[in-house]
Chain A
Amino acid sequence: MSIRPGKILYIENLTVSFDGFKALNELTLYVDPGELRCIIGPNGAGKTTMMDVITGKTRPDSGTVWFGDNLNLLALSEPEIAQAGIGRKFQKPTVFEQLTVFENLELALAGSKTFWNTLLARITPAQKKRIYEVLDIIGLAQQPQALGGTLAHGQKQWLEIGMLLMQEPQLLLVDEPVAGMTPQEIERTAALLQSLAGKHSVVVVEHDMDFVRSIAKRVTVLHEGRVIAEGDMDQVQKDPRVIEVYLGG
């Protein structure tokens, strides 16, 4: 299957087209375990489509997506992929507005998620402890009983990242985490994402170049559905094709 074993995510020759428009065009991309990877690219480069395919929301026309060495993601449904250990944060922060911060995290807890099990489920002390740990990590320990809908924009983003952590995923997909944040919030988010790498693999899609520069070791540049450059930020910024795409040629 793959020529490079030991990756957490293998995307090979992935093509997705919408009415003839190729959102992804023979995309090939690998992610290492514990890595913090940033994916950048102009609008329409296929960043969100790629996330949609990985999480099972969109089915590709061709290509393969493997999670680790033996899980074919294209054969799984969205809940199955989530259960397998891939968490996703959406572009627009989506927390459950009518539930409290605590309840938001409770629902994200790893474990059985069938109707009958959740009907009888009671929170265990270990789970409670885990929720408070995550509340500390995301800086919401002061307001576990606040309703999700009353949080500030940045806090919602963190809560959503916290929900991903509750799932204990191996791979976190984070779509535009700092859009609309204040500089202080951006700084905190950068620290948060960096602290998560290592224990988890983190893939961040972001437009904000300063933010990418501040967190990423490796950057992948997408353009028209394929990878045009990969490397550290300085390398990538010197790449003539990247300059062409970003500055217009």
Chain B
Amino acid sequence: MGKNMLWISAWKDKGSRWFLGALALLFIAAPILNQLVPASSAFHLSTYGLTLIGKYLCYALLALTIDLIWGYCGILSLGHAAFFALGGYAMGMYLMREIGPRGVYGNPILPDFMVFLNWKSLPWFWHGFNHFWFAVIMIMLVPAALAFVFGWLAFRSRVTGVYLSIITQALTYALMLAFFRNDMGFGGNNGFTDFKDILGFDLHSDRVHVALLMITAIVLAVSYLMCRAIVESRAGRVLRAIRDAESRTRFLGYRVESYKLWVFVFSAILAGIAGALYVPQIGIINPSEFSPINSIEAVVWVAVGGRGTLYGAAAGAVLVNYAKTYFTTAIPEAWYYALGALFVLVTLFLPSGIIGLVRSRTNKQKGLRMQSDKGERPIE
């Protein structure tokens, strides 16, 4: 049992092999291509490229958390970017305190925006964020607490389906409005930026960006294995049972609301970590991260990649964001139309996403030697 089993079971699964293999390759290649390959070479990975890949990986982690609750438990959260943003803000608060006296106003305690707003002392909720360990706890605790309270109320009242999706939208929208306010103490619409360093390492150096990228790859791989451990367990089968026939599951004696709550909280914690990894790499966090469209986009990534596979969601996040990067530089005004069209097309023609397409192709090539998607599943 334990860790070894997890690796072995992931290794038996083709999708997991590809996914973890790609992360391992990135983990090895990124430092080499950035640090060892000279800047003049075509194979050199620029700072911009590093940041871009780092961003994709954070989004992949966010997609993973959505797939865990949507693909496996049928909870369609259209507000998951809120947990991502909260984790990001917690990291941002640490990075702001880390600036210290190097800010424009040179105040050793107060971040610049507070001096600008004529604040005399640090608000109570900013205390402790000068310690990295404290920020790390908050990165997980704040999204977890919000998810717990929200989930406890929603799941106990048996709010499901489209109603749940709508209130998650309302949740992230309300948070966005709150964080826009200057007197909330989170920098208003400018949010946090101009970070200097993390744990004393210069955030403007390529080496630190390479390290952050490598850490993100590790966190993504570990999160993937943890999610997989959950969905492969009996609890994971209960989650799928809830997704497909909730009241049947209840009559078998399962407390459906408690299953939903724990998986929702876990998902929110991982989303918070994704946001915390995102902020130092991108260098800014502001209330637009809470905007409802962000959460919807994240759901589209999962749908495009293929839900209920975990790695499909991660692949979808990378592919859609790669397309977005391309579109928003080539034809910026067309992006949201393209995104909408993509969602409609995938829903109509590719209900299992790109992964579903790849799977059915490979199964055909094998001449249906495996009937895995048709009716038979390999014995475990």
Q: Please name all residues of chain A whose beta carbon is closer than 8 Å to the beta carbon of B235 when the two chains form the complex.
A: 115, 118-119, 121
Whether B237 contacts A103 by the Cβ 8 Å rule is yes
Query: Given A96-B248, A118-B238, A150 and B258 touching (CB < 8 A)?
Result: no
Q: Using Cβ atoms and an 8 Å threshold, which residues of chain B touch A103?
A: 237
Is chain A's interface secondary structure helix, strand, loop, or mixed overall? Answer: mixed
Chain A CB count within 10 A is highest, among B241, B256, B374, B379, for B241
- What residues of chain A lie closer than 8 Å to B241, measured between beta carbons? 96, 99, 107
Let me know if B245 and A96 touch, CB within 8 A.
Answer: yes
Which B residues, 360 to 380, have Cβ-Cβ distances below 8 Å to chain A? 374-379
Question: A96, A119, A120, A150: which contacts B244 (Cβ < 8 A)?
Answer: A96
Q: List A contacts of B163 (CB < 8 A).
A: none
Q: B349 at interface (Cβ–Cβ under 8 A)?
A: no
Q: Given the known A-B contacts A103-B237, A107-B237, A120-B233, are A113 and B251 also in contact in the complex, defined by CB atoms under 8 Å?
A: no
* B contacts with A: majority SS: helix
Of all chain A residues, the one with the shortest Cβ separation from B261 is A115
A-B contact pairs, 18 of them (CB 8 A): A79-B254, A82-B250, A82-B253, A96-B244, A100-B377, A106-B237, A107-B241, A113-B238, A115-B238, A118-B238, A119-B233, A119-B234, A121-B233, A121-B235, A145-B376, A147-B375, A163-B252, A167-B252
- The residue in chain A whose Cβ has the minimal distance to the Cβ of B250 is A78
Q: How far is the CA of A66 from the CA of B244 in the complex (A)?
A: 31
Against B, the Cβ 8 Å flags (1 = close, 0 = not) of A139-176 are: 00000011100100000000000010001000000000
Interface residues of B in 234-266 (CB under 8 A from A): 234-235, 237-238, 240-241, 243-245, 247-256, 258-259, 262
Cβ B248 vs Cβ A94 within 8 A: yes
Residues of A within 8 A of B376 (CB): 145-147
A94 near B255 with CB under 8 A, answer no
Q: Contacts of A99 on B, CB cut-off 8 Å? A: 237, 240-241, 244
CB pair A108 B379 closer than 8 Å: no
A145-B376, A145-B377 given as contacts; is B240 within 8 A of A79 (CB)? Answer: no
A238 contacts the other chain (Cβ, under 8 Å)? no
Binary interface profile of A, 91-103, with partner B (CB < 8 Å = 1, else 0)? 0001111111001
Bound complex: CA A100 to CA B255 (Å) = 22
B230 touches A119 (CB 8 A): yes
The CA of A100 and the CA of B377, in the complex, are separated in Å by 7
- Contact call B237/A122, Cβ cutoff below 8 A: no
Set of chain A residues within 8 Å of B237, measured between Cβ atoms = 99, 103, 106-107
Measured CB to CB, the nearest residue on chain A to B255 is A79
CB within 8 A of A90: which of B238, B248, B262? B248
- Where the two chains meet, the residues of B that have a C-beta atom closer than 8 Å to any C-beta of A are 1, 230, 233-235, 237-238, 240-241, 243-245, 247-256, 258-259, 262, 374-379
Interface size on A, residues (CB 8 A): 36
In the complex, the answer to whether A108 meets B234 with C-beta atoms within 8 Å is no
**Which of A57, A97, A107 interacts with B238 by CB under 8 Å?**
A107
Chain A, range 18-52, C-beta contacts under 8 Å to B = none
Instruction: Report B370 CB to chain A, min CB distance, Å.
Output: 12
Q: Quick one: closest B residue to A123, CB to CB?
A: B234
The residues of A that contact B251 with a CB separation of less than 8 Å are 55, 78, 82, 87-88, 90
Contact at B240–A98, with CB atoms within 8 Å?
A: yes
Given contacts A100-B377, A107-B238, A145-B377, contact A114 B258 (CB under 8 A): yes
Residues of A with C-beta under 8 A to B238: 107, 113, 115, 118
B252 and A82 form a contact (CB under 8 A) = yes
Is residue A83 within 8 Å, beta carbon to beta carbon, of the partner chain? yes
Q: Whole-angstrom distance from the CB of A29 to the nearest CB of chain B?
A: 21
Query: Does A94 lie within 8 Å of B245, measured CB to CB?
Result: yes
CA distance A95 to B256 in the complex (A): 16
B267 to chain A minimum Cβ distance, whole angstroms, is 14
A113 and B255 contact, CB distance less than 8 A: yes
Residue of A nearest to B373 (CB): A147
Contacts of B377 in A (CB 8 A): 100, 145, 147
User: Least Cβ distance of A182 to chain B in Å?
Assistant: 21
In the bound complex, residues from chain A placing their C-beta under 8 Å from that of B378 are 145
Q: Which of A96, A114, A120, A145 is within 8 Å of B240, CB to CB? A: A96
User: Do A113 and B253 touch across chains, with their CB atoms under 8 A apart?
Assistant: yes
Residues of A near B249 (CB, < 8 A) are 107
Q: Tell me which of A82, A95, A107 contacts B234 (CB under 8 A).
A: A107
B255 / chain A contacts, CB cutoff of 8 Å: 79, 113-115
A147 to B, closest residue via Cβ: B375
Q: How far apart are B71's CB and chain A's nearest CB, in angstroms?
A: 11
In the complex, which residue of chain B has the Cβ closest to the Cβ of A83?
A: B253
B139 to chain A, nearest CB (A): 23
Interface centre among A90, A108, A119 (most CB of B within 10 A): A119
Cα–Cα distance between A244 and B259 once the two chains are bound (Å): 50
Pair A115/B259 contact, Cβ less than 8 Å: yes
Q: Shortest CB–CB separation between residue B266 and chain A, in angstroms?
A: 10
State in angstroms the CA–CA spacing of A122 and B1 once bound together.
9
List the A side residues contacting B233 at CB < 8 Å. 118-121
- Top 8 A-B residue pairs of the complex, sorted by shortest distance between their CB atoms: A82-B253, A118-B235, A119-B235, A150-B375, A118-B234, A94-B248, A83-B253, A121-B234
Residues on A with beta carbons closer than 8 Å to the beta carbon of B254: 79, 107, 113
Q: B378: shortest Cβ distance to chain A, in Å?
A: 8
